[in-house]
């Protein structure tokens, strides 16, 4: 558990850590000065981008010997037949397919490649992170139309010591803008008006209650 926390904190970066520290300090006196998180946040043109830990199914039409399933390595690269080192992290499956076609064009006439992502982790910059008084603080791959309720179910809800209505969202996609969220109302009272959509890279900070 300690090593997992250290890894997570290291990935957040020094700038985000400073913001998180201020958030925890600010939550002690409430979040009245913060705007509520907008109910709708997802972008209609969002496309999933590949991250380390994903698995890709590469199909080369009429060349079964060149078709295979490959994992994305921790360095964000893949290796496949006739494709030694190819950076795929941060790209869509269509972009990777075109890159593989370019690599294979030296050996195969007019290659047609399809790439399908079969397991999803996503790049660190797009993962949803939950820190503080969640039952199971962790990171989650972002999914289109993912809501705050979806995230809280995945992390097992709140601890007994959580200040749920003092929680905040740090929205990295908007320059670390902070929003207030009402987790206690959502989870304990079933107030669906407190449910909001997530954005890639959101960090949910749940402080401890003082009482």
What is d(CA 73, CA 70) in angstroms, rounded to the nearest whole number?
9
Q: Which residue has the tokens 């890159």?
A: 99
In a shared domain, residues 39 and 65:
no
Find where tokens 């995230």 sit: 151
Same domain (yes/no): 65, 83: yes
The CATH number given to whatever domain includes residue 94 is 3.30.1950.10
Chosen domain end from 66, 93, 119: 119
- The answer to the question of residue 183 being in a domain is yes
Q: Do both 41 and 137 map to the same domain?
A: yes
Q: How many Cβ atoms are within 10 Å of 5's Cβ, its own excluded? A: 11
In a domain, 211, yes or no: no
Tell whether 40 and 84 lie within a shared domain: no
Cα(85)–Cα(77) distance, integer angstroms: 6
pTM: 0.80
Are both 139 and 199 inside the same structural domain? yes
Name the residue with tokens 């490649």. Answer: 113
Q: Mean pLDDT for each 10-residue chunk of the chain (211 residues)?
A: 44 48 49 89 84 97 96 96 95 98 96 97 95 98 95 98 97 97 97 97 96 68
Same domain? For 37 and 132 the reply is: yes
**Polymer length of the chain:** 211
Encoding tokens for residue 111?
A: 């290659």
Residues 79 and 101 occupy one common structural domain? yes
Check whether residue 140 and residue 86 sit in a common domain: no
State the greatest distance between any 2 C-alpha atoms of the chain, in Å, as a whole number: 70
The token pair that represents 9 in the structure block: 């904190």
Range of the domain at 33: 2-45+124-206
């Amino acid at each position: 558990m300690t090593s997992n926390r250290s890894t997570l904190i290291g990935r957040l970066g020094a700038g985000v850590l400073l913001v998180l520290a201020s958030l925890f300090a600010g939550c002690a006196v409430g979040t009245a000065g913060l705007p509520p998180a907008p109910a709708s946040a997802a972008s209609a043109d969002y496309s999933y981008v590949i991250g380390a830990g994903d698995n890709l199914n590469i199909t080369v039409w009429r060349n079964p010997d060149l078709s295979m399933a490959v994992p994305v390595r921790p360095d964000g690269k893949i290796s496949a037949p006739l494709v030694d080192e190819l950076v795929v992290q941060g790209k869509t499956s269509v972009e990777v397919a075109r890159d593989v076609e370019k690599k294979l064009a030296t050996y195969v006439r007019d290659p047609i490649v399809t790439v399908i992502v079969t397991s999803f982790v996503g790049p660190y910059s797009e993962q949803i992170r939950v820190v503080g008084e969640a039952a199971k603080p962790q990171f989650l791959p972002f999914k289109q139309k993912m809501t705050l309720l979806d995230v809280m179910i995945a992390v097992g809800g709140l601890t007994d010591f959580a200040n749920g209505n003092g929680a905040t969202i740090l929205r990295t996609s908007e320059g670390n803008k902070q929003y207030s969220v009402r987790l206690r109302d959502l989870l304990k009272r079933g107030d669906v008006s407190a449910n909001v959509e997530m954005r890639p890279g959101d960090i949910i900070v749940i402080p401890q209650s003082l009482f």
